[in-house]
Amino acid sequence: MSSVGIDQISFYTSNYYLDLQTLAKTQNIDPEKYYVGIGQEKMGMPAHDEDIVTMAASAAAPLFSDEASKSISTLLFATETGIDQSKSAGVYVHRLLGLNENCRVVELKQACYSATAAVQMACALVARQPQISVLVIASDIAKYDLDTPGEATQGCGAVAMMIRAEPRILQIDPEVGNYTEDVMDFWRPNYRKTAIVDGKYSTKIYLKSLKKAWQHFAESSQYCFSDLEYFCYHLPFSRMAQKAHRHLSKVNKSTLDAQAIDAQIEGSLLYNKLIGNSYAAALFIGFTSLLENSIEDLSGKRIGFFSYGSGCVAEFFSGKVLPGYEKHLFAAEHATMLNNRQELSYEQYIALYHAPDPREGENVSIVADTTGKFRLAGICEHKREYVAV
């Protein structure tokens, strides 16, 4: 069977961010708690006219440079910031990107894990029909109540991945390790705009799931810890990944020193530190960060991935970076996007935080605000109106 995996990968985050030093100042606490304690510097805040659909379309647009590339068979949309109980957010993206009418579209949910499920399902579809392309998009906005420990871990982002046979970036290995347990560490009932979280418990469950998913992976796979040269973790905040990776290296009695262990994840953390948690997108934005910021040529290196979705479902999987991968990245575009963002004052952040989010079907027209390619122009008669900018 031919190899299957990620052929292209692109991400998007909002033009706005709040520096966590600003948050710390208003809270009268030491900024090092955020910069060092949780390992985060900035958090992305969506513009007034941005949501998971506009971010997703902006993330995926660079993958469709010509008409031929629009002929994909399936679009899998992973999110836990759903905008409708019935219609998939991906159907709006399908129109905004001009995708073909024979493309199937569906939305997947299991907290931050769902993008990994989407990638695995996409690989299975491509393995059955190697001539097809499947687009996976993960798009999320992480929002917590103000003045809670979660507030500093907010963020937003979307990532788009084209899954194909004979991919140009990452060949995904078929063996995986899974772990599922019914727990209440983080959840968002339909009537709430923000997540409810048992923060300390969630970090414990994350580590337990890592150990369990790893054990299952180790039983199923031919690869052991020392075969994996770099690691990407789900990134609620970068320090969580650091703790997780140290934990996994201990479980495996790794002989590497602490510095070498930390170096295996360092590149994957950089974008997350600047945009915050992007839930389902976070793991794969972390992978993009590793690919685009690694000093070492990653060709031929095997990467370990840990995906975690509260509630909880976890998966450990692996993949090999392919020679020439760097030619197919959007590194310059991503650097420009991140460098050109606008810093928010605390007051501007609060205004965006409280921006209208009609729940009762009010008609609203939304001011043009985003620098992205697509915007939510308004909501009329319960219909969301998306336009290209």
Q: Which is nearer to ligand CAA, 44 or 236 (CB)?
A: 236
Neighbours of 211 (CB within 10 A): 17
Tokens of 140: 């999320």
Asked if 361 interacts with ligand CAA (CB under 6 A), we say: no
| Angle, vertex CA 127, rays to CA 106 and CA 79, nearest 5 | 25
Asked if 287 interacts with ligand CAA (CB under 6 A), we say: no
The closest of 212, 228, 220, 134 to 179, measured between CA atoms, is 212
156 carries an active-site annotation: no
Asked if 162 interacts with ligand CAA (CB under 6 A), we say: no
Asked if 233 interacts with ligand CAA (CB under 6 A), we say: no
E-strand ranges in 143-225 read: 155-165, 170-180, 186-187, 196-197
The closest of 125, 136, 215, 129 to 169, measured between CA atoms, is 136
Enumerate residues 6+ apart whose C-beta is below 8 A from 310: 111, 112, 183, 185, 186, 187, 197, 202, 205
- 374-380 and 230-233 strand pairing: unpaired
Which residue in the set 15, 27, 37, 301 belongs to the binding site for ligand CAA (CB under 6 A)?
37
219 carries an active-site annotation: no
Measure the CA–CA gap between 168 and 36, rounded to whole angstroms: 36
| CB-CB contact of 9 with 163 (8 Å) | no
Asked if 284 interacts with ligand CAA (CB under 6 A), we say: no
Asked if 146 interacts with ligand CAA (CB under 6 A), we say: no
Asked if 153 interacts with ligand CAA (CB under 6 A), we say: yes
| CB-CB contact of 311 with 80 (8 Å) | no
Q: Which is nearer to ligand CAA, 62 or 82 (CB)?
A: 82
Asked if 36 interacts with ligand CAA (CB under 6 A), we say: yes
Asked if 112 interacts with ligand CAA (CB under 6 A), we say: yes
Asked if 206 interacts with ligand CAA (CB under 6 A), we say: yes
Asked if 154 interacts with ligand CAA (CB under 6 A), we say: no
Measure the CA–CA gap between 45 and 353, rounded to whole angstroms: 8
The size of the interface with ligand CAA (CB under 6 A), counted in residues, is 26
Asked if 38 interacts with ligand CAA (CB under 6 A), we say: yes
| Angle, vertex CA 228, rays to CA 227 and CA 229, nearest 5 | 110
Which residue in the set 47, 165, 240, 376 belongs to the binding site for ligand CAA (CB under 6 A)?
240
Instruction: Give the interface segment with ligand CAA, choosing from 14-22, 34-42, 62-70, 131-139 (CB under 6 A).
Output: 34-42
Measure the CA–CA gap between 328 and 253, rounded to whole angstroms: 36
Q: Which is nearer to ligand CAA, 41 or 185 (CB)?
A: 185
Binding map of ligand CAA across residues 304-333, x = CB under 6 A, - = no contact: ----x-x-----------------------
Position of tokens 């999320």?
Answer: 140
Which residue in the set 113, 186, 214, 233 belongs to the binding site for ligand CAA (CB under 6 A)?
186
Options 41, 50, 80, 107, the catalytic residue: 80
Options 112, 123, 156, 312, the catalytic residue: 112
Asked if 277 interacts with ligand CAA (CB under 6 A), we say: yes
* Amino acid (1-letter code) at residue 365: S
123 carries an active-site annotation: no
Q: Which is nearer to ligand CAA, 19 or 185 (CB)?
A: 185
What one-character-per-residue DSSP string does 270-324 give?
Answer: HHHHHHB--GGGHHHHHHHHHHHH-SS--TT-EEEEEEEETTTEEEEEEEEEPTT
Interface residues with ligand CAA (CB under 6 A) are 30, 32-33, 36-38, 112, 149-150, 153, 185-186, 197, 199-200, 202-203, 206, 234, 236-237, 240, 277, 279, 308, 310
Would you please indicate which residues are annotated as catalytic (active-site) residues? 80, 112, 234
